[in-house]
Amino acid sequence: MAKSKTTTKAKATKTPMVIAPPNFKIAEFKICGNAAYVQNKFSEKARVKIADAQKAGQAGRKGTKKDPKDFMAAYEGAKHVSSDGWCGIPAAAFRNALISACKMCGFAMTRAKMSVFIIADGLDDSDGTPLVKITKGKPEYSETPVRNDSGVCDLRPRPMWKPGWEAKVVTQFDADQFTLQDVSNLLVRAGIQVGVGEGRPDSKKSNGVGWGTFDVVG
């Protein structure tokens, strides 16, 4: 007796959407430095010198004479200057400050890295670093005593902007992670507790010297 065959048709199922579309917002803040801002760009001259030494190898290091330090050249080389001629602060300095401030708020820094960004005003003319324009204030020559890794004391010429310098920081943030008030509060904390540039409170190599802090004024 022949057996009957039955077929089972798979039911079409709809896969639910689990990934929401990006929800990014942009907000602009005006900041004013309540302390000096000191900059320390890795200069093009230093970069070329290291490259030449590496190309020469071990033989090239023997008997080499150390050139006298050109303090004014070192001062100029420590500035971040855009292709349009204005001075700026690396955009990454503000992004890093916002992310670091999350430590004080209990927000995961790993999530913050993917949730808040800085829109740059331009690029450094020599190395392409994205920059936030300093809209008020002029750099002045300063010399800072430091200790090299060998322990030898050295003098470092640096550009310094005195308190009162200003900039406009344009943020782009994930509105599913942060509200506008969250970003504003983070930037306020970054200005007080983290800072930007040399000698800032959240410096990786020291406790800072009171530089690089700022107020959010608009």
Q: What is the pLDDT of residues 34-45, one digit of tens each?
A: 999 999 996 444
Question: Does the structure show a pLDDT above 60 at 55?
Answer: no
CA-CA distance, 80 to 100, in Å (whole number)?
Answer: 23
- Mean pLDDT is lowest, of 14-28, 39-53, 86-100, for 39-53
pLDDT at 68: 82
As a whole-number percent, the residues of the chain with pLDDT over 70 amount to 83
State the DSSP H helix or E strand holding residue 55, giving kind and residue range, or none if neither.
helix 44-61
As a whole-number percent, the residues of the chain with pLDDT over 90 amount to 65
Q: Mean pLDDT in the chain?
A: 87
More confident residue, 64 or 191: 191
More confident residue, 204 or 6: 204
CA-CA distance, 5 to 14, in Å (whole number)?
Answer: 29
CA distances from 147 to 37, 55, 68, 144, 205 (A): 20, 28, 19, 10, 12
Question: Does the structure show a pLDDT above 80 at 5?
Answer: no
CA distances from 50 to 47, 129, 133, 146, 149 (A): 5, 19, 29, 21, 17
Question: Does the structure show a pLDDT above 60 at 21?
Answer: yes
pLDDT grade for 175, boundaries at 50, 70 and 90: very high
pLDDT at 12: 62
More confident residue, 152 or 165: 165
Q: Provide the whole-model pTM.
A: 0.82
